[in-house]
Chains A and B, each alone.
Chain A
Amino acid sequence: MYAFSRLYQTLDQTTSTNAKVAAMVDYFRDADPRDAAWAVYFLSGRRIKRLVGSSLLRQWLTELSELPGWLVEDTYASVGDMAETIALLLTRAGDSTEQLSLAEWVETRLLPLRGLDADAQRAIVTGWWAGQSYEQCYIVTKLLTGSLRVGVSQVLLARAIAQTAELPRQSILHRLMGEWQATPDFYRALIAEDDGEAALSRPYPFCLAAPLDDAPGLDSADDAQQVASALGSPHDWQAEWKWDGIRSQLVRRQGQTFLWSRGEELIGTRFPEVATAAERLPDGCVLDGEILPWNEAGILPFAQLQRRIGRKTVGRKLLNDVPCVFLAYDLLEQHGEDIRERPMHERRERLETLVAAHGATLAPGAAHTLRVSERVIADDWASLATLRAGSRERLVEGLMLKRRDSPYGTGRQRGLWWKWKIEPHTVDAVMLYAQAGHGRRSNLFTDYTFGVWDGDTLVPFAKAYSGLNNKEIDRLDKWIRRNTLERFGPVRSVKLEQVFELAFEGINRSTRHKSGIAVRFPRIVRWREDLGTGDADTLDDVKRLIEDGGDGADAS
Chain B
Amino acid sequence: MARPVPLIEATDRGLACAAGGFTIDPWKPVDVSLVTHAHADHARPVAKVTYAAHSSIPLLRKRLGPDLELRGVDWGEPLAFGDTTVSFHPAGHVLGSAQIRVERLVDGPNGERAGETWVFTGDFKRDPDPSCEPFELVTCDTFITEATFALPVYRWQPGEVVAREIFDWWQLMKTSERPAVLFGYSLGKAQRVLAELVRFTDEPVYLHGAVYPLTELYREAGIHMLPTLPIDLADRKVDYRGRLIVAPPGASGSTWMRRFPNASTGFCSGWMRVRGNRRRRGYDRGFVLSDHADWPGLLRTIEQTGATRVLTTHGQSASLVRLLRERGVDAAELTTRYSADDSEADDAAQDAAADTVTAPPSADAPDQTVQP
A interface residues with partner B (beta carbon < 8 Å):
12-16, 65, 67-68, 70-71, 74-75, 78-81, 84-85, 88-89, 93, 438-444, 470, 478, 481-483, 487, 495
Contacts and interface: CB of A to CB of B under 8 A. Distances in A.
Given A88-B153, A441-B276, A442-B276, 12 more contacts: A12-B279, A16-B284, A67-B152, A70-B322, A71-B319, A74-B319, A80-B274, A80-B276, A89-B152, A438-B276, A478-B344, A495-B361
Given A13-B285, A71-B152, A88-B273, A441 B316 contact: no
Given A13-B285, A78-B316, A483-B361, A68 B323 contact: yes
A488 to B, nearest CB: 11
Contact of B280 (A16, A65, A68, A440): A440
- How many of chain B's residues touch chain A, expressed as a range? 20 to 34
B152 A75 contact: yes
B257 interface: no
B372 A441 contact: no
A79 B323 contact: no
A44 B357 CA distance: 51
A483 B277 CA distance: 23
B362 A483 contact: yes
B350 interface: no
A88 B276 CA distance: 13
A75 B279 CA distance: 18
Contacts of B157: 93
Nearest to B340: A481
A439 B361 contact: no
12 contacts: A12-B279, A13-B284, A14-B264, A14-B284, A16-B284, A78-B153, A78-B316, A81-B276, A88-B274, A442-B276, A482-B360, A482-B362
Contacts of A70: 322
Contacts of A443: 271, 274, 276-277
A84 B274 contact: yes
Contacts, number: 77
B236 interface: no
Interface string B156-183: 0100010000000000000000000000
Interface of B: 151-153, 155, 157, 161, 264, 271, 273-277, 279-280, 282, 284-285, 315-316, 318-319, 322-323, 326, 344, 360-362, 371-372
Given A13-B285, A93-B157, A483-B362, A439 B152 contact: no
Nearest to A84: B275
A483 B363 CA distance: 10
B337 to A, nearest CB: 9
Contacts of B273: 88
A441 B280 CA distance: 7
A74 B362 contact: no
Nearest to B318: A74
A89 B294 CA distance: 13
Nearest to A486: B372
B298 to A, nearest CB: 13
Contacts of A495: 361
Nearest to B280: A440
Of B153, B161, B315, B361, which is in contact with the most chain A CB atoms at under 10 Å from its CB? B153
Nearest to A92: B155
B174 to A, nearest CB: 16
B161 to A, nearest CB: 7
B285 A439 contact: no
Contact of B276 (A13, A75, A79, A482): A79
Of A13, A93, A441, A495, which is in contact with the most chain B CB atoms at under 10 Å from its CB? A13
Contacts of B372: 487
The 9 closest A-B pairs by CB, nearest first: A440-B279, A442-B276, A88-B153, A74-B319, A440-B280, A482-B360, A440-B276, A482-B362, A75-B151
Nearest to A75: B151
A79 B153 contact: yes
B326 A68 contact: yes
Nearest to B371: A487
B282 A15 contact: yes
Contacts of B285: 13
Contact of B323 (A71, A93, A438): A71
Nearest to B361: A483
Nearest to B323: A71
B322 A470 contact: no
Contact of B151 (A15, A78, A80, A84): A78
A438 B273 CA distance: 15
A495 B365 CA distance: 13
Contacts of A84: 274-275
Contacts of B319: 71, 74-75
Contacts of A81: 275-276
A68 B327 CA distance: 11
B292 to A, nearest CB: 15
A67 B279 CA distance: 27
